[in-house]
Amino acid sequence: MSLLEVDGVTVRFGGVTALDRVSFAVEPGEIFSIVGPNGAGKSTLFNLISRFHEPEEGDLRFAGESLLRLAAAEIGGLGIARTFQNIELFEHSSVLENLLVGRHTRRRVSIPEQILFTPATRREEIAHRAAVERVIDFLDLQLYRDRTIAGLPYGVRKVVEVGRALAIEPRVLLLDEPYSRLSNEESMDMRFRIGDIRARMGVTVLMVEHDMGLVSAVSDRVMALADGRVIATGTPAAVQSHPRVIEAYLGTQAAAS
Amino acid sequence: MRTAFKTSYAQDIRLFPDVRRALRYVALVALAAAMPLLLDDFLLGEATNVLIWAIAGMGLMVLTGHAGQASLGHAAFLAVGCYANAILMDRAGLPFVASFLTAGVITGLVGVLIAVPAFRLHGIYLAIATLALSILTEDIIVLAEPWTGGVIGLVAPDITIAGVEVDRYASPDLFYWLCLSVVLIVTLGYRNVLRTPLGRAFVAIRDSEISAQAMGVNVARTKALAFGLSCMVTGWAGALMGHFVYTFNHEVFTVIISIQLLVMIVIGGLGSIQGAFWGALVLVSIPQAINIARDGAQAAFGGSMVIPGIETGIFMAILILFILFEPRGIHGRIAKWTIYVELFPLCRRDMFRRQKSFLKTERMR
Amino acid sequence: MESGTLETLQLIVSGLANGCVYGLIALGFALIYKAAEQVNFAQGDLMMFGAFVALGLANESHMGLPFWVACIGAIAVMAALGWLLERAVLRQVFGQPQIAVVILTIAIGFLLRFVAGIIWGHDPLTLESPIAGVNQHFGTLVLGLDELAVIAVTLALTGLLFGFFSRTRLGIAMQASSQNQLAAYYMGIPVKRIHGLTWALAGAIAAVAGILFASKGSIDPNTGLLGIKAFAAAVIGGFGSLPGALAGGLIVGLIEPFAARYVASGYSQIAPYAMLILVLLIRPRGLFAQVHAKKV
């Protein structure tokens, strides 16, 4: 059974059709990339899975269960974690605190216990702290542990956001343009990290990116979107050479020549 | 400069980061407890006033400073706590401890009730709605005369705890210690909230509702909780305030008080527990400072110098200066000085420079 | 005409006139919000201050200038004050969250009240205005010229501003700069200068509102608290919408006399705020709001 299935969803904003009967399925353990030019509906797709938008038709299923019955805040608890295109970190908190928010769905102690800080709360906090430290180790964030987000360079914030998503201990990780605005070296690092996330943590990765070259090296499968429609799905090489993909990226003339 | 060497995870979640700081706070509490021995009755009354405002400030701080929900109506919750406590003692005959705790719980529940519809309101709209609420509360107090005594108001009942009578005038030291113990309990609870998932959820919805949701934080529930806790603490402050002012009516809880409370925590420093205390200290000491200055001026130049509204004028001027030059309030300024002293002489001029920021519309959410 | 309908008609006109004053203050809020996305809680106090400046210029006991000269003088002084406030204070919090501006303008309002109290005292004063106390007869219906003037001026100003925002380049640039300051910069819009201009305009409107208000009755420094009611009006109408601000003002102005007349006088105070809370609960962004979803 596929881990995440998107089944014929359509999303409209006013008169604009952002997604038009889009279907695909992500298999457990794969790295699946969605590419397409700006405005193709990639981020809308992620916001749909996060339950920020409501589809007009179609269904979303995670491990066979429909997501449409759940609220946005319940998605993380299922094991679906995500990052944002324009980085949505908690600006005035430290890196550590940001990652600890990722543990939110794993909390067990009640609110009175938290206010009284009972021994059970202390044990749980230490466990969360240990879990977060594993993520810090994994992403080499030790240097920034106690730094406030507001003062961090862009590339580091991007990694912190991935870390916060990993702190959920997700089954599937949604990365929204993980390479955008990164330098060459940072992009390279990010590429190895995405590979590692799958290899060492066993997390399925679904990512959105507009630069096809960057994703083809790590992805098992690629889906190309244009104007809210799926135009090709398959191996990176197959999608890259697909005539309609070339057309969407370079315009009709390039496809004709 | 000292570097904390951490050897266990427990170190990160301790109440105090290191022994030095723990000792400093212990000394502070000891000093606070010894106040009745050091001050005369008038100053002790002022110290009590600072403590009560600090409790109210902590109440608003958790909502505004940590959960990011600005309220311009917290005088309404002071009023609910105050009247609930007095009515429970007078009409239901509850002993002080029971009525005090219940008054806080009632105020907290009122807060949750208000938070549920207010969930859809963001930033400035919430501020306006709470402002309207505060104005309405004044009128409701007057209209609900059978319960509240209308414009005449109520007299705070006598407090008896375990057979000992605690009276604001007859035994100011006992009343001071009562307020101090409430302060300590609330501060400890507040500190605990901040180092647990609840406090992190508050900060999360303050900084980015959208990613808080993606992290599994239920925004509506968290806001309601923030309102509930905030109002509970504010209600306790209101109950103590009732006993402190002794007779009270709607004029004790005007919308001006709501504004003053918010201004107070901004001056103290939003987003820090200490800020509530600094703000309360400033708020209470301004009238005293003006009195001293006026007495000095009158002694020097003769004649009487009464300028109506000067307390508020100066308070608001201080606020403007803080927003312009130190948006992080007294607490933020002290934190910078501490770093400066610790790093001396390595501090760079631009170390604390604020980042240039551009406003994006809040019409889009 | 029957005395019942006559009374209702007079209630409506006095309600409309009051509502227009609220509407004019609300217009100031809406203007600044539309152009700078700042929420100016001091608008009511600016109105009070404008009224006092006009009074200080016009009244015999003060400067004794001719009324129309005093009006122009007051408008100029208030425009300068608005510009100065933006320049000296609000520009410093450029880009900070709205709530910082809210607290800041509340404090400015208190300071204006304090300063007005020092200069003009705390006793109610009346503006010696040629339109005060003159009645206009329409058959059996008697209407105050002051009330009619308020209504006429308000309608004219609203129309003018509405045209300005939807027709002129500057007006459109103002709107753009409020929605995304950085992008507006990139487009070559002088955002800061526009903010200064907006505040000057808001100061001028406050002066007009102040003169009209002071022609209808007496003023004292606490008149500025009327701003809170006007604020309720602006929110009921929906921030950032000029016709909405006026409509909100009129609604509040009309509710009050009728609530006082038909419910109980104690409730006329409550009515605008109860209405405000009701509107916020049903339509959290006001009756005529513009809302867009944030893109993530």
ipTM entry: 0.93
Does any domain span residue B113? yes
- The alpha carbon of residue C292 is apart from the nearest alpha carbon of chain A, in Å, by 11
The pLDDT tens digits for C143-184 are 788 888 888 988 898 888 888 888 888 888 877 777 777 777
Chains that touch A (3 or more CB pairs under 8 A): B, C
Would you give the DSSP letter of residue C42? T
Q: Rounded distance, CA B128 to CA B134, Å?
A: 10
The pLDDT tens digits for B169-222 are 999 999 999 999 999 999 999 999 999 999 999 999 999 999 999 999 999 999
- The alpha carbon of residue A229 is apart from the nearest alpha carbon of chain B, in Å, by 26
Residues of C within 8 A of B360 (CB-CB) are: 179-182
- The alpha carbon of residue A33 is apart from the nearest alpha carbon of chain C, in Å, by 19
pLDDT interval class at C290 (50, 70, 90): low
Residues of B within 8 A of A100 (CB-CB) are: 197, 200
Does any domain span residue B351? no
Closest chain C residue to A48, measured at CA: C296
Between C206 and C181, name the one with better pLDDT. Answer: C206
Least CB–CB distance from B192: residue in A90, A103, A117: A117
- The alpha carbon of residue B332 is apart from the nearest alpha carbon of chain C, in Å, by 16
Using a CB–CB cut-off of 8 Å, the residues of C that contact A are 293, 295-296
Q: Rounded distance, CA B313 to CA B233, Å?
A: 28
- The alpha carbon of residue C230 is apart from the nearest alpha carbon of chain A, in Å, by 34
- Given a contact cutoff of 8 angstroms between Cβ atoms, the answer to whether A71 and A244 are in contact is no
The answer for residues whose C-beta is within 8 angstroms of residue B296's C-beta and 6 or more apart is none
Does any domain span residue C244? no
Closest chain B residue to C96, measured at CA: B359
Helix (H) or strand (E) holding C203: helix C191-216
- The alpha carbon of residue C296 is apart from the nearest alpha carbon of chain A, in Å, by 7
Q: Rounded distance, CA A229 to CA A235, Å?
A: 18
Task: Tell me the mean pLDDT in the region A68-79.
Answer: 94
Q: Rounded distance, CA B34 to CA B47, Å?
A: 12
CB contact under 8 A, B213 and A121: no
- In 3D space, the residue among B314, B282, B268 whose CA is nearest the CA of residue B50 turns out to be B282
CA distances from residue B239 to A180, B63, B87, C88, C247 in whole angstroms, order as listed: 55, 19, 11, 41, 41
Q: Rounded distance, CA C207 to CA C216, Å?
A: 14
The pLDDT tens digits for B266-292 are 999 999 999 999 999 999 999 999 989
What is the phi/psi pair of residue A222, to 5°?
-130, 140
- Given a contact cutoff of 8 angstroms between Cβ atoms, the answer to whether B95 and B160 are in contact is yes
CB contact under 8 A, B215 and A121: no
Model confidence at A33: pLDDT above 80: yes
A60 beta partners:
A6
Least CB–CB distance from B216: residue in A97, A104, A114: A104
Q: Is B136 on the interface with C (CB under 8 A)?
A: yes
Q: Is C294 on the interface with B (CB under 8 A)?
A: yes
Does any domain span residue C178? yes
Task: Tell me the mean pLDDT in the region A242-248.
Answer: 86
Q: Provide the pLDDT for residue C111.
A: 94
Q: Which candidate in A67, A75, A101 is best for mutational testing of the B interface (most B CBs within 10 A)?
A: A101
What is the phi/psi pair of residue A71, to 5°?
-90, 165
Q: Find the angle CA(C54)-CA(C57)-CA(C59) to the nearest 5 degrees.
A: 90
- The alpha carbon of residue A85 is apart from the nearest alpha carbon of chain C, in Å, by 7
CB contact under 8 A, C232 and B324: no
- In 3D space, the residue among B271, B225, B201 whose CA is nearest the CA of residue A97 turns out to be B201
Model confidence at B151: pLDDT above 50: yes
Q: Provide the pLDDT for residue C256.
A: 85
Task: Tell me the mean pLDDT in the region C113-141.
Answer: 84
Q: Which two tokens stand for residue C257?
A: 């006399």
Assign C106 to helix, strand or coil: helix
Model confidence at B108: pLDDT above 90: yes
Task: Tell me the mean pLDDT in the region A194-203.
Answer: 93
Q: Which candidate in C29, C89, C103 is best for mutational testing of the B interface (most B CBs within 10 A)?
A: C103
| B244: containing domain | 35-343
Q: Provide the pLDDT for residue B3.
A: 65
Assign B108 to helix, strand or coil: helix
* Residues of chain A above pLDDT 90, percent: 78
Q: How many structural domains comprise chain B? A: 1
Give me the total of CB pairs closer than 8 Å, taking one residue from chain A and one from chain B: 108
Does any domain span residue B24? no
pLDDT interval class at A154 (50, 70, 90): very high
Q: How many structural domains comprise chain C? A: 1
pLDDT interval class at B363 (50, 70, 90): very low
The pLDDT tens digits for C53-112 are 999 999 888 888 899 999 999 999 999 999 999 999 998 887 777 788 889 999 999 999
The pLDDT tens digits for B238-266 are 999 999 999 999 999 999 999 999 999 99
Does any domain span residue B18? no
* Beta strands, E only, chain C: 125-126, 135-138, 141-144, 218-219
* Beta strands, E only, C164-246: 218-219
- The alpha carbon of residue B114 is apart from the nearest alpha carbon of chain A, in Å, by 20
Chains that touch C (3 or more CB pairs under 8 A): A, B
- Parallel, antiparallel or unpaired: strands A31-35 and A221-226: parallel
Q: Is C235 on the interface with B (CB under 8 A)?
A: yes
Structural domain boundaries of chain A? 1-79+170-257, 90-168
**Residues 6-65 in B contacting C (C-alpha not used; CB under 8 Å):** none
Q: Provide the pLDDT for residue B265.
A: 95
Query: What CATH number should be reported for the domain holding residue B290?
Result: 1.10.3470
Does any domain span residue C236? no
Lowest mean pLDDT segment, chosen from B36-40, B153-157, C35-39? C35-39
- In 3D space, the residue among B83, B88, B114, B113 whose CA is nearest the CA of residue B99 turns out to be B88
Residues of A within 8 A of C295 (CB-CB) are: 43
- CA-derived radius of gyration, chain B: 21
Mean pLDDT value across chain A? 91
Angle between helices B255-268 and B123-143 (to 10 degrees): 140
Mean pLDDT value across chain C? 85
Model confidence at C295: pLDDT above 50: no
CB contact under 8 A, B198 and A111: yes
Lowest mean pLDDT segment, chosen from B65-74, B286-295, C125-134, C148-157? C125-134
Q: Rounded distance, CA C296 to CA A87, Å?
A: 9
Residues of B within 8 A of C96 (CB-CB) are: 327, 357, 359
**CATH 3.40.50.720 corresponds to the domain A1-79+170-257:** no
Q: Rounded distance, CA A32 to CA B241, Å?
A: 61
**Residues 97-116 in A contacting B (C-alpha not used; CB under 8 Å):** 97, 100-105, 107, 109, 111, 114-116
Model confidence at B353: pLDDT above 60: no
Using a CB–CB cut-off of 8 Å, the residues of A that contact C are 13, 43, 47, 52, 84-86, 88
